[in-house]
Structure 1
Amino acid sequence: MNEIMLNVPGITCGHCVAAITASVGRVPGVTEVRVDVAAKTVRTLGTADPAAVRAAIDDAGYETV
């Protein structure tokens, strides 16, 4: 199982958490998604491709750095 940790500066509230969690949770290979508002990070566990996780975050309307 791999961990992917991404910085997402646009995370500010519970709505952000819900939108990112839903979008990233649909990526094949993602088994767990954790969004931290305070740290402005998204952490996933599973076998997903990091590019697919980034694309899902972009699709949710947020930018990774």
Structure 2
Amino acid sequence: MSTIAFELPTMTCGHCVKAVTAAIQTVDKQAQVVIDLPTHQVRVDTGASQAQLAQALKEAGYEPA
């Protein structure tokens, strides 16, 4: 497992947090997701690649900065 971080400027509310978490967990059901909403930061402990997670986030409407 590795820790991957993303900045998601368009993540602004509780609904966004749920959508981002769900998108990440479609790639890795066991991923541990930690979100800091005020700073738009997401940290993921996962076995998936950064590219896989970034693609899932894009498909959910959250473009990593």
Identity %: 37
Letter in 2 for 1:51: A
Identify the residue that residue 33 of structure 2 maps to in structure 1. Answer: 33
**CA contact 2:24–2:31 (8 Å) conserved in 1:** no
CA root-mean-square deviation: 1.4
How many residues matched?
65
Identify the residue that residue 54 of structure 2 maps to in structure 1. Answer: 54
| Structure 1, unpaired ranges of 5+ | none
Letter in 2 for 1:18: K
* Larger helix proportion of the pair: 2
Identify the residue that residue 9 of structure 1 maps to in structure 2. Answer: 9
Structure 1 segments, 4+ long, off by >3 Å, are none
SS of the residue 2:32 aligns to: strand
Residue 47 of structure 1, CA deviation: 1.2
> For each residue in 1:2-52, what CA deviation from the matched residue of structure 2 results, as whole angstroms up to 9, or x when unmatched?
000011101100010000100111113752112221110111102111000
Which TM-score applies when normalising by structure 2? 0.89
Letter in 2 for 1:36: D
| Structure 2, unpaired ranges of 5+ | none
